[in-house]
């Protein structure tokens, strides 16, 4: 069995950063680049834990959606999958709330089982639970199959955040009509890209949802709103805070990798050192694999053992650094690195050899989204980052997108459509009822909202939190800060619902 990166949003497109080595001044001395793979939740070789139906009960349904909500062309429709649980719902007569998780870039069942918070709190709110799937992921494929949906830029052009939000809006409106539940308030939830969707949906469809909990939602990771080094600096600091020698070993490893790869028979030797199933095709492929491990570890640096992307111990970065620092005295840098990343890729000890996800042209939904709307500039600072130095190069990125998808990105579209610049002022006067929750260990936190904007647009920030840990189900090992954070979220959501009910009552009594 072999495993490879699974993840959340990554940002680089394959061809963008590939070789051209010495032509880039920042590529010295290592000649490799930070990950050129857009981060994804479900990598090709990932082994996410199969949904456990005993744990959460839901019914799976399908709903017919227009392919294009924004034109009146007579286009084919597609079936959107959604999961529903009404066990605890107190129903329309008591205006029972509807908790809607905004499905993101992957199979919705996987998000459902990794979003225990919604399941945990639904009973006390008497809430219905809904998990609609994002179009072009899981089983919600336009054109009848994944193969057809991902054929080319024409068939993929309906894969956008705007269409996904419209899917949610149309679905919930129709469902409420079917259940005579028009008076039931909807609360949105989302983590990561799903959190971005939840926040944007509250802003775009205030008549449909009373509020949104947007966890680890990097809605500011666009254009120049935050510095492009932010993401890799946070990853690097997560390693440095555990051990500066661990940070140094990783920082030095890229040039060790390059010089090893340059040797005669170097690629074969590297394949052996890293116990790869097949001979390495390029040093960059190995660099990407290592980069993925570090970036994803920073996202899932949870204080207790978890299974989100991979089976991992609690405090996995501490574990990784312990392996790197604790390798036998005479270990080479690369042997130390191998021992370290084994914590990520082989924690269960069941992997016989490592399979690199080295098909750079694999069609992936997030790659398409990153090449159209979701252009998130990323750099790696030569001093503060442990990754190879890299300056964001938009024209190289654009060329990669043209090559992979025959599409030209629109880097300013997201802020035009949803805002982002001067968000403090804009949301203060024109928005309400959004919680932005973030853990500062999460590399995506740097692109999120970390300060309270108004009475009703609030930021819940935890020093020790990682990628949307608050959305996970509560456990016996939860630290106090996490228990407290969730309690605040529950209180705030209760406040939105109380307000809604007060207003309804006032209207009826008029």
Ligand X SMILES: *[C@@H]1O[C@H](CO)[C@@H](O)[C@H](O)[C@H]1NC(C)=O
The H or E element spanning position 234 is helix 230-240
DSSP-based three-state secondary structure for 60: strand
User: Does residue 158 touch ligand X according to CB under 6 A?
Assistant: no
Q: Is the peptide bond before 127 cis (omega within 30 degrees of 0)?
A: no
**The binder of ligand X chosen from 87, 174, 359, 477 (CB under 6 A):** 174
Q: Burial letters for 128-148: b for 16+ Cβ neighbours within 10 Å, e otherwise?
A: bbbbbbbbbbbebbbbeebee
d(CA 280, CA 284): 9
**Judged by CB under 6 A, which stretch of 50-58, 153-161, 326-334, 421-429 contacts ligand X?**
153-161
**Pairing mode, if any, of strands 77-85 and 59-66?**
antiparallel
d(CA 417, CA 476): 42
Q: Which residue is nearest to ligand X (CB)?
A: 349
Total of residues contacting ligand X (CB under 6 A): 27
**The binder of ligand X chosen from 22, 71, 152, 244 (CB under 6 A):** 152
User: Does residue 452 touch ligand X according to CB under 6 A?
Assistant: yes
d(CA 462, CA 438): 6
**The binder of ligand X chosen from 98, 149, 159, 175 (CB under 6 A):** 175
User: Does residue 275 touch ligand X according to CB under 6 A?
Assistant: yes
Cα–Cα–Cα angle for 444, 135, 204, rounded to 5 degrees: 65
**The binder of ligand X chosen from 451, 477, 484, 498 (CB under 6 A):** 451
**Pairing mode, if any, of strands 211-215 and 434-439?**
parallel
User: Does residue 312 touch ligand X according to CB under 6 A?
Assistant: no
User: Does residue 150 touch ligand X according to CB under 6 A?
Assistant: no
User: Does residue 168 touch ligand X according to CB under 6 A?
Assistant: no
Least distance CB 341 / ligand X (angstroms): 10
User: Does residue 280 touch ligand X according to CB under 6 A?
Assistant: no
* Residues with catalytic roles: 192, 442, 467
Question: Which residues on adjacent β-strands are paired with residue 215?
Answer: 191, 437
Residues 60-89 that bind ligand X (CB under 6 A): 61, 63
User: Does residue 437 touch ligand X according to CB under 6 A?
Assistant: no
d(CA 508, CA 201): 27
Contact 10, 42 (CB under 8 A): no
Q: Is the peptide bond before 312 cis (omega within 30 degrees of 0)?
A: no
**The binder of ligand X chosen from 269, 488, 494, 499 (CB under 6 A):** 488
Residues 353-382 that bind ligand X (CB under 6 A): 353-354
Question: Which residues on adjacent β-strands are paired with residue 128?
Answer: 98
**The binder of ligand X chosen from 93, 154, 182, 395 (CB under 6 A):** 154
Least distance CB 19 / ligand X (angstroms): 25
**The binder of ligand X chosen from 6, 121, 130, 171 (CB under 6 A):** 171
Which residues are at the interface with ligand X (CB under 6 A)? 61, 63, 151-155, 171, 174-175, 178, 275, 342, 346, 349, 351-354, 383, 451-452, 458-461, 488
């Amino acid at each position: 069995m072999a495993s490879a990166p699974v993840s959340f949003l990554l940002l680089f497109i394959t061809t963008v950063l590939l070789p051209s080595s010495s032509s880039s001044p920042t590529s010295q001395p290592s000649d490799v680049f930070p990950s050129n793979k857009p981060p994804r939740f479900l990598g090709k070789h990932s082994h996410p834990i199969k949904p456990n139906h005993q744990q959460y009960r839901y019914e799976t349904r399908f709903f017919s959606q227009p392919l294009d909500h924004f034109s009146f062309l007579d286009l084919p429709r597609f079936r959107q999958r959604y999961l529903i649980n009404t066990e605890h719902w107190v129903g329309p007569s008591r205006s029972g709330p509807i908790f809607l998780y905004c499905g993101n870039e992957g199979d919705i069942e996987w998000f459902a089982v990794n979003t225990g918070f919604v399941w945990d709190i639904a009973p006390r709110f008497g809430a219905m639970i809904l998990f609609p799937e994002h179009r072009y992921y899981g089983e919600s494929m336009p054109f009848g199959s994944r193969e057809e949906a991902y054929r080319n830029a024409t068939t993929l052009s309906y894969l956008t955040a705007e269409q996904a939000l419209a899917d949610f809006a149309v679905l919930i409106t129709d469902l409420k009509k079917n259940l005579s539940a028009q008076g039931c308030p909807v609360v949105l939830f989302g983590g990561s890209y799903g959190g971005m969707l939840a926040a944007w949906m509250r802003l775009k469809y205030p008549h449909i949802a009373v509020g949104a909990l947007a966890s680890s939602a990097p809605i500011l990771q666009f254009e120049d709103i935050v510095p492009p080094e932010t993401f890799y600096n946070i990853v690097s600091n997560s390693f440095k805070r555990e051990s500066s020698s661990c940070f140094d070993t990783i920082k030095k490893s890229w040039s060790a990798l390059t010089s090893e790869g340059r040797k005669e028979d170097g690629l074969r030797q590297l394949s052996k050192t890293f116990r790869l199933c097949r001979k390495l095709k390029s040093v960059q492929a190995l660099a990407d694999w290592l980069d993925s491990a570090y970036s994803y570890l920073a996202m899932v640096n949870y204080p207790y053992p978890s299974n989100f992307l991979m089976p991992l111990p609690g405090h996995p970065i501490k574990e990784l650094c312990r392996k790197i620092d604790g390798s036998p005295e005479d270990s080479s840098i690369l042997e130390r690195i191998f021992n370290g990343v084994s914590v990520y890729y082989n924690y269960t000890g069941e992997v016989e050899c490592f399979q690199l996800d080295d098909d750079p042209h694999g069609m992936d939904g997030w790659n398409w989204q990153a090449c159209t709307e979701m252009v998130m500039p990323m750099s790696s600072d030569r001093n503060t980052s442990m990754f190879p130095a890299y300056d964001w190069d938009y024209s190289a990125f654009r060329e990669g997108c043209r090559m992979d998808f025959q599409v030209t990105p629109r880097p300013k579209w997201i802020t035009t459509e949803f805002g982002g610049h001067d968000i403090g002022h804009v949301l203060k006067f024109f928005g309400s009822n959004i919680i932005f929750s973030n853990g500062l260990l999460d590399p995506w936190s740097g692109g999120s909202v970390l300060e309270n904007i108004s009475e009703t647009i609030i930021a819940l920030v935890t020093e020790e939190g990682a990628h949307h840990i608050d959305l996970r189900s509560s456990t016996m090992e939860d630290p106090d800060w996490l228990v407290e954070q969730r309690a605040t979220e529950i209180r705030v959501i209760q406040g939105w619902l109380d307000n809604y009910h007060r207003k309804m009552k006032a209207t009826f009594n008029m």
